[in-house]
Amino acid sequence: MPEMVALKRDKEFLKRVDETVKRGSYASRTDLIRAALREKMDAEDLRRRLARIDELYGSAKTRTSDEELHRIREKVFLELEKEYGLQ
């Protein structure tokens, strides 16, 4: 069951939120804030995954070629697209 979260913001911030909603990108303040939070969490997930790739790349006994690294990145992004329904 969804839980309610209260958010207090200054008038200038809410004015910007309302302007964005009026442009038709979002149906309501709630939709915009929900999307912003989702995007932030997705970006953090991506940052952690890329850091893990960098960690693995740096710890390899043999160096990975640029072509292999490109293939690995493509595979990771395809997996992320599937996981987050971006296809």
Q: Which residues 6+ apart lie within 8 Å of 1 measured at CB?
A: none
Contact by Cβ (8 Å): 87, 81: yes
Share of the chain above pLDDT 70, in %: 93
Contact 47, 53 (CB under 8 A): no
Q: pLDDT of 9-59, one tens digit each?
A: 999 999 999 999 999 989 999 999 999 999 999 999 999 998 888 887 776
Q: In the predicted model, is pLDDT for residue 87 greater than 70?
A: no
pLDDT at 15: 96
pTM: 0.58
